[in-house]
A and B are shown apart, each in its own frame.
Chain A
Amino acid sequence: MATGFDSQRRLPSQEKLFLDYVQRLHDHKEGRRLLHIHMSGLRPYNRRDHHLRIAANGFEQVIKSLQGQLFTLASSDLILVFRREAQSEVETSVVKLRFLFGDDPLLIPESDGVDRFCTWYDADAQYTDILDLARSLVADEKAREAQVEAEQEAKAALRVKQEFGEPITPRTLARLEEALSRADLSNMVRRQYASAIVGSAAPQPVFSELFISIGDLREAMTPGIDLAANRWLFQHLTSVLDRRVLSLLRKDDYFTLSGDISFNLNVVTLLSPEFLAFDDSVTASRRGTMMVELQRIDIFRDLGAFMFAREFIKERGYRLCLDGLTRDTLGFIDREGLGFDLVKLIWSPDMATEDEREIDHLRDLVARVGGDRVVMSRCDTRQSIDFGQAIGVGIFQGRHVENLIAEEHRKQDLLQRKRRRG
């Protein structure tokens, strides 16, 4: 999977290990040699997984006899550090490799006589060169990783952009509302899990949010219209959707959903007859498993109305979540004072920073709200979760979290099948 999030990536990279090793080598460099095999220079058809495996296996004996250590770099280059005593054995292996890749242009000798497949170093004489090599490898790897992340973020941004179109107008909104009154929205309801993620362990679902996918809605009813182009018309649209969500939720299939659920509503909706009817249809015990998400913009619309609605729905037993916080607004909010059980912090790529002071600041803000009370939402990349964890967030939601959950399910399936077979 392209967005594959494997636990290995959280381990120190081979480049980093190599650098550590080289630094420790400083006092033991006598009699050591180093071989850098430029696998990355081979043609793509020559560096598939099995080629790399065969190449690495060629040095198995040296490694097993504790005469050498092999590093497999992300670029697929190999680096072998070995004792002088193993020189001939290593050379034999290299000959085999040259034979194996004999058809590759990389191995065709050039007039200058430079070997572009292998570079040899003597640790004693060329220690500084080796150290430079190790450092540049670490730097390259960092840059490469940053680029992968940037690409992931760019892809995520592109997905958002593709959803743009003609800006919504009162007329298109009226058309949409009319269509909505006749449409069956049940197939547009999406469910996304907010999950606790600790370190690189598998996500543990805390609750799931039910929502109507605006993208699907647009696709089906107003293709080519950017529904979010005008903030006020969009807010109005959400209040129209609220009523539809409530009537959908009253259907049995949603009541039998397992686990705690959450859904977005406007403050005005909480005071409407539709919500009272919904409330009547929910058993008291079920209310405790339901959380109402309110938008930040909506509670500031009329704080008095919010306070009244809050008292009402808390008294009925529902829980409350404040949605739509950003890095900028997290510090403004007194979660406890406003009476929210949870708050949602929207991830955006520009939140990521390496500035330690900024990270400390964010960590403080999260701690003040309560790390287990903050859900980082719209986590579409691995980076978002890494950063969230770094600032003390405990719960995550978004496409990447969904991927992780799916991956975990596949893993469990596989294990089960294995067990059955075994």
Chain B
Amino acid sequence: MEDTVPTTHNPTLGIAGEEPPLVDHLRRIRNNRQGCIAIHIHLSRLRPYHREAAHVRIAVRAFENLSNNYDANLYVAANCDLVLMCRDVRVNDIDVVIRKLRNLFAEDPLIFGEDGGRGERFASWYDLEIDYGLFQSMLDDLIEDGLRITEDKDAASSEVVLGKPIDARALAAVVDRLQHTRIADLISHQAAVEVGGDGGRLLFREHYVSIADLKKRVAPGVHIMSDFWLFLYLTEILDRRILAVLGRRDFAAPGRPISLNLNISTVLSADFDAFAMRVGPNGDKVVVELQQVDVFADLRLFREARDRLRRRGFAVLIDGLHPLALQYFDPLPLDVDYIKINWSGNLLSSEFKGRLRQVRDSLAEIRDTVVLARIDDEDAIKVGMEIGVTRFQGRFIDRLVSAMTAGGRA
């Protein structure tokens, strides 16, 4: 008994990532570290939408060549960081792979926010001959992090929280339920404001159905957003219900305009005509938000819908524009009243430095139509003002507006 290896507490037990074999690997080379390098790639620092399973899988793939041809092993940690362990591999060959990764994630602020330095924020290099201890302590942190994530994950696996991914059959059932369920009480609203020298002015209030509430009521246990196209189909059904509810409003009463999201197919339908009849001569009280994917799906239908809305006196807004999109097309010819650009709330201006001018330039001609949405804090407004935008919407704006209302100014 005495000469067997004592079973020590294994800190990596039960972890979801490949930390255990990584620990083994490190142990194996402890006494022969010549030519050994480790690279820690911080995928966990990317934006959440860049570290889904698909992205990690593809990032891992970039190392295949290296691990097939050299003494190199890649480990995927529980927090989705990657650790590459290699011996006698030319730094240049590794660099090629890291550069590929940077290209893949080029649109992430983690990458374009790097200040041309050594890029330590994305990849950290360890010469294990010298930095063994340092690497060891980094690994300890990684394991600790991983264990915590594993625990959280078990408690909150996406299927438990979000429900089963939707498919056509589940959609049919959800649609049936949606058609026979009261939704009037699910409609919430959010203000969009214009900021000028003389303070703020309410532009319109967007009326929408919170997806979380909707899901609770008509699709418990179903992840209705898991399939983009099926979700859009659901919104077509939702459109009709919302039109019926909002059609009961008194549009002649004084007040700021409302905005509502509609599919283009809805705008071209008889249900919409009925709604427009109810609005009557008060078309200036209605802003219709069309999704950009819907707009680009068929520009001719979009124009037909836009002109139809204009004839009724409604304002037309294009929603959901990716800030990147402006680099690849010019929205000016779409000829609409508002263009809503979704700001990634956590894009801090320091990370944004290099791009600010670019975005400001691409906004030059449409600035008067831009509404910057998803404004969650004051910083976002500052960035917005820096690029010349004066119209905002988001949680932070809501707080401002309610403060204004409380002060009796709105």
Partners in one complex: yes
A residues adjacent to B (C-beta < 8 A) = 169-171, 173-174, 177, 230-233, 235-236, 239, 268, 271-273, 276, 279, 296-297, 300-305, 307-308, 311-312, 315, 326, 328-329, 331-334, 337-338
On whether the beta carbons of B232 and A170 are closer than 8 Å, the reply is no
Given contacts A272-B54, A297-B293, A297-B297, contact A235 B229 (CB under 8 A): yes
Q: A174-B167, A311-B104 are in contact. Are A326 and B233 (CB under 8 A)?
A: no
Q: Which of A239, A296, A329 contacts B229 (CB 8 A)?
A: A239
- Write 25 A-B pairs (CB below 8 A) sorted by A numbering: A170-B169, A170-B171, A174-B168, A174-B169, A174-B171, A231-B265, A231-B298, A232-B233, A232-B236, A236-B233, A268-B228, A276-B57, A297-B293, A297-B297, A300-B293, A300-B325, A303-B325, A304-B324, A307-B324, A308-B50, A308-B107, A311-B103, A312-B61, A315-B62, A315-B103
Nearest A-chain residue to B330, judged by Cβ = A332
Verify A177–B168 contact, CB threshold 8 A: yes
Count of B residues near A, CB < 8 Å? Answer: 43
Residues on the A chain within 8 Å of B228, using CB: 268, 301-302
Q: Of A231, A239, A303, which contacts B324 at CB under 8 A? A: A303
* Chain B contacts for A174, CB-based, 8 A: 167-169, 171-172
B58 proximal to A (CB < 8 A): yes
- The CA of A173 and the CA of B106, in the complex, are separated in Å by 37
Partner of A236 from B58, B100, B168 at Cβ < 8 Å: B168
Question: Nearest residue in A to B236 (C-beta to C-beta)?
Answer: A232
Main DSSP-derived SS at the B contact region: helix
B314 within 8 A of A: no
Q: Mark B198-239, 1 if CB is under 8 A from A, else 0.
A: 000000000000000000000000000001111011001000
B328 neighbours in A (Cβ, 8 Å): 303, 333-334, 337-338
Binding site for A on B (CB under 8 A): 49-50, 54-55, 57-58, 61-62, 100, 103-107, 167-169, 171-172, 175, 227-230, 232-233, 236, 265, 292-293, 296-300, 322, 324-325, 327-330, 333
Contact A276 B61 (CB under 8 A): yes
A311 to B168, CA, bound (A): 31
Chain A positions within 8 Å of B265 at CB level: 231
Give bound CA distance, A329 to B106, whole Å.
Answer: 26
List 20 extra interface pairs beyond A230-B233, A232-B233, A328-B299, CB under 8 A.
Answer: A170-B168, A170-B172, A170-B233, A171-B169, A174-B167, A177-B168, A232-B230, A233-B168, A268-B228, A271-B55, A296-B296, A297-B293, A300-B292, A302-B322, A304-B50, A307-B324, A308-B50, A315-B100, A329-B299, A337-B327
The 3 residue pairs across chains A and B that have the minimum distance between CB atoms: A271-B54, A174-B168, A170-B172
Docked pose: A171 CA to B299 CA in angstroms: 29
Contact residue among A273, A302, A329 (Cβ-Cβ distance under 8 Å from B296): A329
